[in-house]
Amino acid sequence: MEFKNVTVAGSGVLGYQIAFQSAFHGYHVTVYDINDEILEKAKAKFEVLSAAFKTDLNATSGQLDAAKKRLSYQSNLGEAVKDADLLIEAVPENPQIKIGFYHELAKLAPEKTVFASNSSTLLPSQFAQETGRPERFLALHFANEIWKHNTAEIMGHAGTDAAVFDQVVAFAKSIGMVALPLHKEQPGYIVNSLLVPLLSAGLDLLAKGVADVETIDKTWMVATGAPVGPFGILDVVGITTAYNINKMAADVSKDPIKQKVADYLKEEFIDKGKLGVETGVGFYTYPDPSYKKEGFLK
Ligand code: NAD
């Protein structure tokens, strides 16, 4: 069975992007959030997103108007899922909120609905029983700025039905994603399993005083041909996220270098409002960071 009706729960940073991407590719999408005021804000964000679709994807006004007509809004969960083939959950990254949401959803959703979680750090097996339909539950993980960074990592738990998994892979492709199936559960999926160690290694080299920011980035860029190094990436990810990851690692490992990294990010960046690209300053200054200037790789 192909999906037709999609419900996206949570209209925050990722939820509204997933909803718009799905509507743009022809699905009827219901956007669910906890109240109408938040849903009104989501409607306003769709206008901003439309401008990005025009610039980045050459989307036409006709296509964007059609996408908007396929979107509807609901703050009543029962109404929001009553005819959903697929529900994509993008509620806050907080296990208590997610569990509460799945308990409610399990009571209200029709039997046919497949549930997919966009969680970045929690594993589907942690929620499978709460959904009341473990075989029709899995993770479908998108990246921020989904229309440009179009990865969709699909990860089931041991009890996910293989046919459901394949349906979700097909759905991801149908909304313009590069579908990346994982054969088993992996914290951090593929992208973050690769990226987090690289970024941590860069920060460790800096904290140990081995080399400066530009030399570390230059090394990575010249040696691998990558267009950006770990500190350029950290500015895009955001220093707050980098701090949270390193603080957690420091607390768990008691590694003094990790603690030094966490303190450095807090004192030199967060406390000074230098949060990366979003604030115009991080390790580099934007919009013209030195690593993009001619001669940087010399
Ligand atoms: P967010 O805080 O921006 O948005 C969460 C939304 O969920 C808000 O609109 C909030 O009102 C709503 N919400 C709160 N409780 C709810 C409930 N009980 N039912 C329905 N909606 C509820 O969060 P986000 O950054 O969009 O993250 C959502 C999920 O997507 C998380 O699991 C996160 O790990 C994942 N994710 C985020 C990113 C990112 O870059 N932000 C990237 C990939 C995946």
CA 234 / ligand 1 centre spacing (Å): 21
Cα gap 175→20, rounded to integer Å: 10
pLDDT of residue 1: 66
Nearest to 141 by CA among 93, 78, 77, 71: 93
Positions of E strands within 168-280: 178-182
Q: 225: exposed, middle or buried (C-beta count within 10 Å: 0-12, 13-18, 19+)?
A: exposed
The verdict on the CB of residue 167 being under 6 Å from ligand 1 is no
Q: Is the CB of 3 under 6 A from ligand 1?
A: no
Q: Is the CB of 34 under 6 A from ligand 1?
A: yes
Nearest-angstrom CA–CA distance, 121 and 239: 18
Which stretches of the chain drop beneath a pLDDT of 70? 1
266 phi, psi to nearest 5 deg: -70, -50
> Using a CB cutoff of 8 Å and minimum separation of 24, what contacts does 213-220 make?
213/283, 213/284, 214/290, 214/291, 214/296, 217/291, 218/291, 218/296, 218/297
- 65 in contact with ligand 1, CB cutoff 6 A: no
For ligand 1, say whether the CB of 11 is within 6 Å of any of its atoms.
yes
Task: State in words which class domain 196-289 has.
Answer: mainly alpha
Single-letter code of the amino acid located at 270: I
Regarding the beta carbon of 103 and ligand 1, being less than 6 Å apart is answered no
Q: Which of 105, 115, 119, 120 to mutate to test the pocket of ligand 1 (most atoms within 8 A of CB)?
A: 120
Query: CB–CB of 73/20 below 8 Å?
Result: no
Q: Is 254 helix (H, G, I), strand (E, B) or coil?
A: coil
CA of 241 relative to ligand 1 center, distance in Å: 15
Q: Is 40 in the pocket of ligand 1 (CB under 6 A)?
A: no
Decide if 226 contacts 159 (C-beta within 8 A).
no
**Ligand 1 contact via 196 beta carbon (within 6 Å):** no
The CATH 1.10.1040.10 domain(s) of the chain lie at 196-289
For residue 42, report the distance from its CA to the centre of ligand 1, in Å: 12
Nearest CA to ligand 1 atom 29: 90
Tell me what pLDDT residue 73 has.
97
113 within ligand 1 shell (Cβ under 6 A): no
Name the residue with the closest Cα to ligand 1, atom 37.
14
The Å distance, Cα 45 to ligand 1 centre, comes to 15
The CA-CA-CA angle for residues 173, 171, 150, to 5°, reads: 40
**The CATH classification of domain 5-181, taken from the options 3.60.20.40, 3.40.190.10, 3.40.50.2300, 3.40.50.720:** 3.40.50.720
Is there an atom of ligand 1 within 6 Å of 12 CB?
Answer: yes
pLDDT attached to residue 77: 98
Strand 137-142 vs strand 151-156: parallel, antiparallel, or unpaired? antiparallel
Nearest CA to ligand 1 atom 35: 119
- Write phi, then psi, for 167 (nearest 5 degrees): -60, -40
169 CA distance to ligand 1 middle (Å): 22
Residue 17 confidence (pLDDT):
96
Both tokens assigned to 65: 């108007």
Length of the chain: 298
Q: Where in the chain is the domain with CATH 3.40.50.720?
A: 5-181
Contacts of 8 (CB under 8 A, 6+ apart): 15, 16, 18, 19, 22, 29, 30, 31, 32, 87, 88, 90
Residue 243 phi/psi, 5° resolution? -65, -50
pLDDT digits (tens, 9 = 90+) for 90-142: 999 899 999 999 999 999 999 999 999 999 989 999 999 999 999 999 999 99
Separation between Cα atoms, residue 86 and residue 130, nearest integer Å: 17
pLDDT for the residue numbered 2: 87
Q: Would the CB of 10 count as within 6 Å of ligand 1?
A: yes
The angle that helices 213-224 and 230-237 make with each other, rounded to 10 degrees, is 110
93 lines ligand 1 (CB under 6 A): yes
Query: From the CB of residue 137, how many other CB atoms can be counted at a distance below 10 Å?
Result: 28
Phi first, then psi, for residue 181 (nearest 5°) are -75, 135
User: E strand or H helix at 155, and its extent?
Assistant: strand 151-156
Q: How far apart are CA 118 and CA 128, in angstroms?
A: 14
Q: Quote the pTM value.
A: 0.90
